[in-house]
Structure 1
């Protein structure tokens, strides 16, 4: 059995002030709330908007390709697709080349909802970027892209 050890409060302050994971999570939640509110009139959450956008391709992508793009595991993606399927925004079909694999596509209604959401996203996105320091948006995107890459082994 291990002996309980107290973590000094200074450590708590250090984590609060420097932890990249904490700061990224807080920013992600704050951004998601803003986009959720803005997209509510078209019936989408920010996550659903991202998912519909990921399906907006010339050829239907596989579940694996979309999961990789969105940095989600396949099970979480499958669960996120269910309400979009029920609403008739997304269709899931067997891949004719590999019946074990599933392909995802936007339905006509899904394309309409996405088209309605894009101007809302553009306006809010521009407002958020305008509130960042001049070099902020590109530097932030670059840093986040670096953080989202798989860790080197």
Structure 2
């Protein structure tokens, strides 16, 4: 006989619940510049590594390509992200922030810092740093 499921023993449930809680903090701050947390992370990756291919970006984000395409479409439509064909392979497109995207990203960084500060005040700076290290170790 199976024993009843206890959610307090489920790693997935705990991580998803925590992710929703943390995402709500960041979403509240980033909304001030009209951006979601997912859009911010994509823009941060592109700011750090311009001219990334879709495959490179999806691997860096640990995100399937379909989900990434859905997230990128409004950013491309709004002129924040541009795609240009690769000189080596015209079937590949290189993604970068546009000038407008860079300006919005600069504004978003200020909102992100406020969210980061709020989280670290609630959770503790040292604990937040240790948590990030532990979580990143799972996907790197």
Per the normalisation by structure 2, the TM-score is 0.91
Q: Which runs of 5 or more structure 1 residues have no equivalent in the other structure?
A: 1-5
**Residue 22 in 1 paired to residue 6 in 2?**
no
2:68 to 74, 77, 81: 77
User: Counterpart of 1:8?
Assistant: 3
2:34 to 36, 39, 43: 43
Q: Deviation of residue 142 (structure 1)? A: 1.8
In structure 2, the residue corresponding to 1:88 is in which secondary structure? Answer: coil
- 1-side partners of 2:61 and 2:45: how far apart? 8
Which structure's CA Rg is the greater one? 1
Query: 1 or 2 for the larger relative contact order (CA 8 Å, sep ≥6)?
Result: 2
Per the normalisation by structure 1, the TM-score is 0.84
In structure 1, the residue corresponding to 2:90 is in which secondary structure? Answer: strand
User: Counterpart of 1:109?
Assistant: 100
Give runs of ≥4 in structure 1 deviating > 4 Å: none
1:13-67 deviation digits (Å, cap 9, x = unpaired): 2xx1122211111111111122111111211001001111111036411111111
Q: Deviation of residue 7 (structure 1)? A: 4.2
Q: 1:82 to 1:35 in 2, by over 3 A?
A: same
Q: Which runs of 5 or more structure 2 residues have no equivalent in the other structure?
A: none
Q: 1:71 to 1:58 in 2, by over 3 A?
A: closer
